[in-house]
Structure 1
Amino acid sequence: MLTTANVAEIAGLVGEPARAAMLLALMEGRALSAGELARAAGVAAPTASGHLGRMDAAGLLAIERQGRHRYHRLASPAVAAMLESIMAVAGQAVRRPVVRTGPRDAALRRARTCYDHLAGRIAVAVADRMIARGGLELSADGGVLTGRGEALLRAIGADPDAIRAASRGRRTWCRPCMDWSERRPHLGGAVGAALLDAYLGNGWMRRVQGSRAVTVTPAGRLALDRAFGFDPVVWDD
C-alpha cells in the first residue's frame, strides 16, 4: 500500500545530488558500471556503491550481470518518466537570467534519448504532427493510434502489430511524456520506443557517444520531413 513514507523515501533518494547525477546518466538508456556512475556523480567508488545499493533496494535500478561484471540501468520506463517530469518541474522552478548555451545544449534540445524513446523538439513535433493529421489521440493518461497512425508507423518501418504483441501485459502501449526542454509532451511507451528504434534502424538518427543527444542524418531530415511535414522551425537551433 502506498504511504507518504514511501513517497518521501523515493523523493529523498532522487533528491540527493550524487544519486540524481547517476540517475540522469542512466537516462541515455544504457546500462553503466558502478565506476562509470561514480565518475558521472563525481564521487569515490565506495560512496557510489552505497548510493547504488540504496537505489537498487528501492526499485529505482535494475542490475544486469555479464560474467564478473555488474551493470546498472533504470528499473523501468516509469522511473524514466518520473525523472523527465522532475526535470520539467525543476526547469520551471528555476529563475535565472537567460544565458546563451553552447552547441551541445542546442543538440540536446533538438533531439535526445529519454530512456528508450526520443525527446526534444523533434519528438514533440512528431507528436504534434501525428495529432494534427488524425493519426494520434493523446490525453493526460495515455494515447491511441488511429488507422492513419498505424499506417504511418508501418511506412517508417515500425509494425504496430509486432509492437503490440511484444508489449502486451508488460508496458504501456502509448503515453504522453512531458518534455523538460519543450514543456510539452512527446511520445513514450511502446510506441515511442518503436519510433526511436525505427529512426536509428533506418539510419535517420545516430546516438552521440557519451551523451543523451541524438543527431539527425541528412537522409533522416528528408525522410522525417516527408513523413511528418515538419515546419522548418523544428530544425532551428
Structure 2
Amino acid sequence: MSDMSSFVAAAALIADPARGLILTALLDGRALPAGELAYAAGITAQTASSHLAKLLDGGLLAVETEGRHRYYRLAGGHVAEALERLSGIHAAGPVRRRALGRQGRELRFCRCCYDHLAGQVGVAVTRGLQERGYLEPAPEKRFAVTPAGRAWFAGIGLDVDAVRPTRRGLARQCLDWTERSHHLAGPLGVELLHVLCARGWLRRRPASRAVEVTPRGRAELQQHLGVEESSPLAA
C-alpha cells in the first residue's frame, strides 16, 4: 500500500463518528472491552464489533486477550499523537463555538494525552521546566534535559538515566490541541506523569481522561515550577 493510500484509509477509518468516539475513549492509554467502547460510542455491541474489526485491520487499534475477554487499546503513541493533532485543526477565521461543558473544562484544564500530561496544567508544567532551565528545546521537536534538570527530576524521584528513550528520543514536544502550545511527551513525559501521581500531586480519574490536581499538588507545582493556573471549574 502506498503512503497516500495508507493515509486515505486511515483518514476514512477515523472520519466515521462512531469510530471517532471509540478512538477518543482510548486516548488515555487504557485498554477497554468492547462493551464499554460500544457504550462510549452510543452504538450496539454488534455494531461496535464491526467497527473494532475495521480499526484493528487498519492498524489503529491493538487487542489483548485475557481468558474469554478481549481488551482494545490504541496501537501506540503515534496513533494518539495523530488524533490529538487532528483535534487541533480548525477552520480559518472566526468560528462560533458552544461554551464548554463541565467535562470539556475538566479535560482542557488537566488531562492525559494517551500516556502523558496535557491540558493547561501539562503546558504550564512544561513551561516551568523550560523557564527554570531544566529542559531546553532540541532539534526534531525534542527536549534536551540539562544537568540541572536531571538533578530536579532526581529530587522528585525520577531517575532520568533509567528512562529508556525510543527511536524518537527521551523527551518530545507534543502540541497541545486545546492550548496550542507544547507539553512534554515521550518516555520522560510518561514517567513524569507516573511520578506526579505516585507522589499524590495528581490523581487520574477512573473511566476518564481527566486528571485532578490535588491540594498538595497545587502547592508543590507552584513551589517547584511556578504553576499558578487556577482550575476553570472554580469559576
Same fold? TM cut 0.5: yes
Amino acid at match of 1:228: L
Return closer, same or farther for 1:174/1:46 CA change in 2, 3 Å cut-off: same
Give the Cα separation in 2 of the matches to 1:109 and 1:156: 25
Q: Are the aligned partners of 2:33 and 2:70 in contact in 1 as well (CA < 8 Å)?
A: yes
Cα pair 1:136 1:145 within 8 Å, conserved: yes
Is 2:20 aligned against 1:20? yes
Give 1:76 shift.
Answer: 0.7
Identical columns (%): 43
Q: Which amino acid aligns with 1:235?
A: S
How far is the alpha carbon of 1:94 from its aligned partner?
A: 8.9
CA contact (8 A) 1:26 1:74 kept: yes
Q: Where do residues 1-237 of structure 1 align in structure 2 (5 Å cutoff)?
A: 2-90=2-90, 96-139=95-138, 141-164=141-164, 167=165, 172-230=169-227, 232=228, 234-237=229-232
Normalized per residue, the structure richer in helix is 1
Q: Which moved more, 1:127-136 or 1:183-192?
A: 127-136
What is the alpha-carbon distance in structure 1 between the residues aligned to residue 93 and residue 85 of structure 2? 14
The amino acid that maps onto 2:230 is W
What 5-or-longer segments of structure 2 have no aligned partner? none
Any gaps of 5 or more consecutive residues in structure 1? none
State the AA in 1 paired with 2:131.
A
Q: Secondary structure at the match of 1:10?
A: helix
For the residue of structure 1 that corresponds to 2:70, the secondary structure is strand
Q: How many residues align?
A: 231
Aligned pair in 2 of structure 1 residues 162, 97: CA closer, same or farther (>3 Å)?
same
Q: 1:157 corresponds to which letter in structure 2?
A: G
Taking structure 1 as the reference length, the TM-score comes to 0.90
Q: Distance in 2 between matches of 1:81 and 1:131?
A: 22
Kindly indicate whether the alpha-carbon contact (under 8 Å) linking 1:62 and 1:74 is maintained by their aligned counterparts in 2: yes
Residue identity in the other structure for 2:109: R
* Per-residue deviation, 1:101: 2.8
Contact 2:166 2:187 in 1 (8 A): no
